[in-house]
Chain A
């Protein structure tokens, strides 16, 4: 006895649109069951996870703050994933962008340096992320090394580099030996979009990145080149698209956007460098990219949903004493449900039993 997946001959668009909704409901039911097993009320948990953050203005702002790096990184990853390159190292590119951008903030700290500091920091952040992303791309095109391994391993290199810097050369001398840099000058701080808001200009960059990407992927030859490389690499070669250039380009774009997210977060949110500048945005963004089906608008929605689980998870930890790991488990369940829903839309499942007719 086994299950067999047979492709459906025609897929209804309604079904395809409803699939993520069904996936969300299923994921919530599974999570609710787990919470019930842990002896808490699933209803109260749903309240804390979903209802409260969406009905509170502070929490709504926080939602945008958390969704910003996720969306920026995920939109960059969409370039890689569409072309079938597996950049798993966005977390490292995020960190390296933050490090290079912060270098300028720290160098100009306490000087009269003016308005140019912030744009230059953002540019350096993108350069840092892009350069770091180009390492796995170079290793792949030059030596054929799997980008999955190299990009992932480089994450640890980046994290340890940051750790070394904030404990060593970049540590604030007046910081009571805490491993953190000085607080950035106002000239090196990404301002809020509105007075007294937590939402900084990074959110605007994320929206711009999404809009530009929607045009690039949908309407330009470059976007087609990525899809063709991902779907039929020999046809891409036959079309005259060099695989080497494509690889370099997508890793540079993806690394650059991750780096921008990194410097945006440090300069707009944290205000200084410290050993940990990300709750795993670079890895969660992989989930976001696939939840959004590598589609820019989908990624926007997915980033908001996943940000919600972050915020809900934090409140659940405080109010219901639920472990933070549950949030990560929930993100995993959500991704599996969405992938399963997609598969069920495209394929019909049949239970096959042996022995009939023989």
Chain B
């Protein structure tokens, strides 16, 4: 368990008024943060709130524009990660820095100073593995390991240097729920042994499981320092995303009409090392309804989206039918021409080209929009279309026809969703429609999805945000390890039932086994 926070001694580390400016952007704005010895302290915030900047300052990767850092009450300057490690700060980054071809022990040895022999590393590795339940085989090559095992190497590498403070940046983003739970047990043990942990996340549940104190950032500022166990998820979310919370008018669902999408026994091998295979997915979406697909990130959502959009065609045409026409082998263009539209998860680089103007970005879904003729671009039509999207979806732009990267996340998301909705597709498939966007934009986007369905289109929403799905979906299923649960009306789902499906415990198969 977590060591009690001692009110008497100085905090292990204290940040005072830390600011970091990049040109016009203030990534950190006068941030104060105290971490007591042995506590697990959460740093919560949406993407772009300034979390990564702050920890990089603490780890000596970047230099603050203003402010000071106190280590056990005395001011220090951390000019590089080497100096940070010398103080006793260890960090596990979101993206691992490991050599695939080397073994576990070799990967650890290369990162340590040269007076560590491989034999010493091995024996200490054994000790630490046993003490904290971080099972690792020293002689396995890294490329054979799962993401969770790779992360353990990074953690052990830090622990070998006896850190006083361990920083973890979104550690569960690459982990399965089981691996994540395993990590939490390790972190509890570390904390009990007196090591402080700064835990960065945007997942509320994890933070409530682990931490008693959380600092919430929004737009580079501290907007709250709270005990996450004493506040409701809604309150914390409101702090993270700002206070505008509006309701989406769902209206009444019409009786579902024609079948716009039918997926039959969709099975796909994983696309790469970190890919997830899809196993026998069946899914039907009717005109006039919103079908929600819930699940923890990395359970096959992007693979399912790629198969539905045609970015990764399937082997048999019959696997996927849009509007009754088999199109499993067809590419994304052909599916757009069948009346479908797609919005991928990643806004910049996937849904839109960052350095291209909005009018040029309308050309990405050119197959179904009137922006080109016989191979020539209709520049004026593209500009008019971009203008119309900006107007109808309340996209706030810094200038007339700006580059996509100049828009904020929420505004760009409104644009890419608007680009598809404005041509009234009869089937819309959206992956994470409101990921990392502000509450106002999220509300507008959800309303637009609902309106589209009420006008008679079929909408499939893949989302990690359960509240969002409960708000807009008519029917819902849960994806777990590439398998899709039964598709049930939203009224038949409870959050508990969804949670169990997310853990792979199917209700229909045996609620008795549920934990």
Task: Determine how close the nearest CB of chain A comes to the CB of B359; give it in whole angstroms.
Answer: 11
Of B189-197, B211-219, B329-337, which binds chain A?
B329-337
Interface residue from B79, B354, B377, B379 paired with A354 (Cβ < 8 Å): B79
- Chain B residues lying within 8 Å of A238, measured Cβ to Cβ, are 309, 311, 332, 342, 344, 350-351, 364
Query: Would you list which residues of chain A between 1 and 43 have a CB under 8 Å from chain B?
Result: 6-9
Say yes or no: A228-B353 contact (C-beta < 8 A), given A221-B375, A221-B377: yes
Say yes or no: A231-B355 contact (C-beta < 8 A), given A238-B309, A358-B68: yes
- Chain A residues lying within 8 Å of B352, measured Cβ to Cβ, are 232, 235
- Does B251 make an interface contact (CB < 8 A)? no
- Does A114 make an interface contact (CB < 8 A)? no
Query: Would you list which residues of chain A between 336 and 358 have a CB under 8 Å from chain B?
Result: 352, 354-355, 357-358
CA distance A220 to B374 in the complex (A): 9
Q: Does the CB pair B356–A222 fall under 8 Å?
A: no
Say yes or no: A235-B350 contact (C-beta < 8 A), given A224-B377, A240-B333, A358-B77: yes
- Chain B residues lying within 8 Å of A318, measured Cβ to Cβ, are none
Q: Interface 1/0s, chain A 225-256, versus B by CB < 8 A?
A: 00110011011011110100000000000000
- Chain A residues lying within 8 Å of B351, measured Cβ to Cβ, are 235, 238
- Does A321 make an interface contact (CB < 8 A)? no
Interface residue from B23, B63, B75, B331 paired with A6 (Cβ < 8 Å): B23
- Chain A residues lying within 8 Å of B336, measured Cβ to Cβ, are 240
CA distance A6 to B309 in the complex (A): 38
- Chain A residues lying within 8 Å of B356, measured Cβ to Cβ, are 227-228, 231-232
Query: Would you list which residues of chain B between 369 and 422 have a CB under 8 Å from chain A?
Result: 372, 375-377, 379
- Chain A residues lying within 8 Å of B75, measured Cβ to Cβ, are 358
Query: Would you list which residues of chain A between 303 and 358 have a CB under 8 Å from chain B?
Result: 352, 354-355, 357-358
- Chain A residues lying within 8 Å of B66, measured Cβ to Cβ, are 357
- Does B135 make an interface contact (CB < 8 A)? no
- Does A142 make an interface contact (CB < 8 A)? no
CA distance A205 to B63 in the complex (A): 55
Say yes or no: A220-B364 contact (C-beta < 8 A), given A235-B353, A238-B350: no
Task: Determine how close the nearest CB of chain B comes to the CB of A269; give it in whole angstroms.
Answer: 36
Minimum CB distance partner of A228 in chain B: B353
Q: Does the CB pair A234–B363 fall under 8 Å?
A: no
Residue from B342, B354, B364, B366 whose CB has the most chain A CB atoms within 10 Å: B364
CA distance A66 to B428 in the complex (A): 56
Task: Determine how close the nearest CB of chain A comes to the CB of B356; give it in whole angstroms.
Answer: 7
- Does B14 make an interface contact (CB < 8 A)? no
Q: Does the CB pair A239–B364 fall under 8 Å?
A: yes
Minimum CB distance partner of A358 in chain B: B77
Say yes or no: A237-B311 contact (C-beta < 8 A), given A220-B377, A231-B354, A358-B77: yes
CA distance A235 to B366 in the complex (A): 12
- Chain B residues lying within 8 Å of A234, measured Cβ to Cβ, are 346, 349-350
Minimum CB distance partner of A347 in chain B: B23
- Chain A residues lying within 8 Å of B344, measured Cβ to Cβ, are 238
Contact-residue bracket for chain A: 20 to 34
- Does B230 make an interface contact (CB < 8 A)? no
Q: Does the CB pair A240–B367 fall under 8 Å?
A: yes
Task: Determine how close the nearest CB of chain A comes to the CB of B75; give it in whole angstroms.
Answer: 8
Task: Determine how close the nearest CB of chain B comes to the CB of A287; give it in whole angstroms.
Answer: 24
- Does B169 make an interface contact (CB < 8 A)? no
Q: Does the CB pair A235–B364 fall under 8 Å?
A: yes
Q: Does the CB pair A239–B365 fall under 8 Å?
A: yes
Task: Determine how close the nearest CB of chain A comes to the CB of B387; give it in whole angstroms.
Answer: 19
CA distance A357 to B346 in the complex (A): 39
- Chain B residues lying within 8 Å of A237, measured Cβ to Cβ, are 311, 332
Task: Determine how close the nearest CB of chain A comes to the CB of B452; give it in whole angstroms.
Answer: 20
Interface residue from A7, A8, A232, A240 paired with B332 (Cβ < 8 Å): A240
Q: Does the CB pair A220–B366 fall under 8 Å?
A: no
Query: Would you list which residues of chain A between 77 and 117 have a CB under 8 Å from chain B?
Result: none
- Does B24 make an interface contact (CB < 8 A)? yes
CA distance A232 to B75 in the complex (A): 45
- Chain A residues lying within 8 Å of B346, measured Cβ to Cβ, are 234
Interface residue from A8, A220, A227, A232 paired with B376 (Cβ < 8 Å): A220
Interface residue from B68, B331, B349, B379 paired with A232 (Cβ < 8 Å): B349
Q: Does the CB pair A222–B353 fall under 8 Å?
A: no
Q: Does the CB pair B366–A239 fall under 8 Å?
A: yes
CA distance A175 to B149 in the complex (A): 72
Minimum CB distance partner of A223 in chain B: B377
Task: Determine how close the nearest CB of chain B comes to the CB of A55; give it in whole angstroms.
Answer: 42
Q: Interface 1/0s, chain B 9-33, versus A by CB < 8 A?
A: 0000000000000111000000000
- Chain A residues lying within 8 Å of B367, measured Cβ to Cβ, are 239-240
Interface residue from A6, A223, A224, A235 paired with B349 (Cβ < 8 Å): A235
Q: Does the CB pair B364–A228 fall under 8 Å?
A: yes
Q: Does the CB pair B311–A6 fall under 8 Å?
A: no
CA distance A179 to B335 in the complex (A): 59
- Does B360 make an interface contact (CB < 8 A)? yes
Residue from A9, A237, A242, A352 whose CB has the most chain B CB atoms within 10 Å: A237
Query: Would you list which residues of chain B between 143 and 196 have a CB under 8 Å from chain A?
Result: none
Q: Does the CB pair B353–A231 fall under 8 Å?
A: yes
Say yes or no: A221-B372 contact (C-beta < 8 A), given A6-B22, A228-B364, A354-B79: yes
Q: Does the CB pair A7–B23 fall under 8 Å?
A: yes
Minimum CB distance partner of B335 in chain A: A240
Minimum CB distance partner of B355 in chain A: A231
CA distance A231 to B348 in the complex (A): 11
Minimum CB distance partner of A224 in chain B: B363
Residue from B336, B342, B346, B366 whose CB has the most chain A CB atoms within 10 Å: B366
7 A-B residue pairs with Cβ-Cβ distance under 8 Å, sorted by A, are A219-B377, A228-B353, A228-B363, A228-B364, A235-B353, A238-B351, A242-B331
Chain B contact residues, CB within 8 Å of chain A = 22-24, 63, 66, 68, 75, 77, 79, 309-311, 331-333, 336, 342, 344, 346, 349-356, 360, 363-367, 372, 375-377, 379
| Other 20 A-B pairs with CB < 8 A, given A6-B23, A237-B332 | A6-B22, A219-B376, A227-B356, A228-B356, A231-B354, A231-B355, A232-B353, A232-B354, A234-B349, A238-B309, A238-B311, A238-B332, A238-B350, A240-B331, A242-B331, A352-B63, A354-B63, A357-B66, A358-B68, A358-B75
